[in-house]
Structure 1
Amino acid sequence: MDSTSKRKSDHVRICSEKMVEVKNITTGFENVHLIHRCLPEVEFEKLDLSVEFLGFRFKAPMIISAMTGGMAEAAKINANLAKAAEELGIGMCLGSGRACLENPSCTYSFKIARENAKHIFISANIGFQELLTYPYGELKKLVEMVEADALTIHLNPLHEFLQHDGTRIFRGVLNKLRELKSRVEFPIIVKEVGSGICREDAELLASAGVDALEASGAGGTSWAGVEYYRSMEAGDWERAELSKTFWDWGIPTAISILEVRTAVDIPLVASGGIRSGLDVAKALVLGADLAGLALPLLKPAMESWESVLKLLKKICGELKLAMVLTGSERIEDLKRKPYILTGFVREWATFRKLKVRV
Structure 2
Amino acid sequence: MTNERKIEHIRVIERDAETDRNARYFQSIHLLHRALPQLALDEIDPEVEFLGKRLSFPLLISSMTGGDHELVRQINRNLAEAAQICRVAMGVGSQRVMFTHPQAEASFALRQWAPDAVLIGNIGAVQLNYGLGEDALQAAIDVLDADALFMHLNPLQEAVQPEGDTDFRHLAEKLGLLQSRLQRPLILKEVGSGLSPADIALGFAQGIRFFDLAGSGGTSWSRIEHHRRTEASGDLGLTFQDWGIPTPLALRLAEPWMDEAVFIASGGIRDGIDMAKSVILGASLCGVAAPLLRPAMESVEAVVDAIERLRREFITAMFLLGTQNVAGLFRNKALILEER
Q: Same fold (TM over 0.5)?
A: yes
Q: Secondary structure at the match of 1:195?
A: coil
Give the aligned partner of residue 48 of structure 2: 51
The TM-score, its normalising length taken from structure 1, stands at 0.90
Residue of structure 2 aligned with 1:117, choices 114, 117, 141: 114
For 1:148, the equivalent position in structure 2 comes to 146
Which of 252, 256, 264 aligns to 1:258? It is 252
**CA drift at 1:30:** 1.1
* Equivalent residue in structure 2 for 1:137, among 115, 135, 138: 135
Structure 1 CA distance, aligned partners of 2:53 and 2:18? 33
TM-score (structure 2 length as normaliser): 0.95
1:249 shift after superposition: 0.4
**Do structure 1's residue 5 and structure 2's residue 42 form an aligned pair?**
no
CA distance in 1, matches of 2:147, 2:99: 18
Tell me if structure 2 keeps the 8 A contact 1:126–1:152.
Answer: yes
Residue 278 of structure 1 aligns to a residue in which SS? Answer: helix
- 1:222–1:247 contact (8 Å) kept in structure 2: yes
Q: d(CA) in 1 for partners of 2:137 and 2:268?
A: 29
**Structure 2 Cα separation of the partners of residues 138 and 292 of structure 1:** 25
Offset from partner CA, 1:54-80 (integer Å, 9 cap, x none): 222211101100000013121100000
What is the number of residues matched between the two proteins? 335
Q: Residue 189 of structure 1: SS of its match in structure 2?
A: strand
Q: 1:160 aligns with which of 155, 158, 161?
A: 158
Q: Pairwise mapping of residues 97-112 of structure 1 onto structure 2 (< 5 A)?
A: 97-111=95-109
CA drift at 1:218 = 0.6
2:79 partner letter? L
Q: Which amino acid aligns with 1:139?
A: L
| 2:269/2:288 contact within 8 Å kept | yes
Shift in Å at residue 341 of structure 1?
A: 4.0
* Offset, 1:264: 4.2
1:245 equivalent among 239, 256, 270:
239
Kindly provide the amino acid, as one letter, of the partner of residue 196 in structure 1: G
Structure 2 counterpart of 1:289, from 284, 288, 295: 284
What CA distance in whole angstroms lies between the structure 2 residues aligned with 1:174 and 1:60? 32
Q: For 1:164, give the aligned amino acid.
A: P
Check 1:22–1:74 CA distance in 2 against 1; reply closer, same or farther (3 A cut).
closer
Higher helix share: 1
Matched-pair contact (CA < 8 Å) for 2:20–2:290: no
Task: Give the Å deviation of 1:211.
Answer: 2.9
Quick one: which amino acid aligns to residue 294 of structure 1? A
Q: Could you tell me which amino acid in structure 2 is paired with residue 259 of structure 1?
A: L
* 3-state SS, counterpart of residue 124 of structure 1: strand
Using the TM superposition, give the Cα deviation of residue 241 of structure 1 relative to its aligned residue in structure 2, in angstroms. 0.9
- The aligned counterpart of 1:333 is 328
Is there any run of 5+ residues in structure 1 with no aligned partner, and where?
Answer: 344-358
Deviation of residue 182 (structure 1)? 1.0
3-state SS in 2 of match to 1:95 = coil
Tell me the residue number matched to 1:214: 212
Q: Secondary structure at the match of 2:162?
A: coil
How far apart, in 2, do the equivalents of 1:210 and 1:13 lie? 35
Change (3 A) 1:21 1:143: same
Match of residue 67 from structure 1: 64
Q: Which residue of structure 1 aligns with residue 314 of structure 2?
A: 319
Alignment pair present for 1:29 and 2:23: no
1:127 equivalent in structure 2:
124
C-alpha RMSD over aligned residues: 1.4
Report SS of the residue matched to 1:107: helix
- Secondary structure in 2 aligned to 1:171? coil
Q: Deviations over 1:176-226 (max 9, x none)?
A: 111101111111111100101111211111111113110101110011110
Residues 1:298 and 2:293 aligned together:
yes
Q: Give the CA deviation at 1:38.
A: 1.1
**Alpha-carbon deviation of 1:27?**
4.5
1:40 matched to which residue of 2?
Answer: 37
Deviation at 1:12, TM superposition (A): 1.1
2:74 paired residue among 64, 67, 76: 76
Could you tell me whether the CA contact under 8 Å between 2:281 and 2:333 is conserved in 1? Answer: no
- Secondary structure of the corresponding residue to residue 227 of structure 2: helix
* Consecutive unaligned residues in structure 2, runs of 5 or more: none
- Check if 1:275 corresponds to 2:273: no
For residues 303 and 136 of structure 1, the distance between their equivalents in structure 2, rounded to whole angstroms, comes to 36
* Per-residue Cα deviation, 1:221-268 (whole angstroms, up to 9, x for no partner): 01111011122xxx3233x31111101101111101111123443111
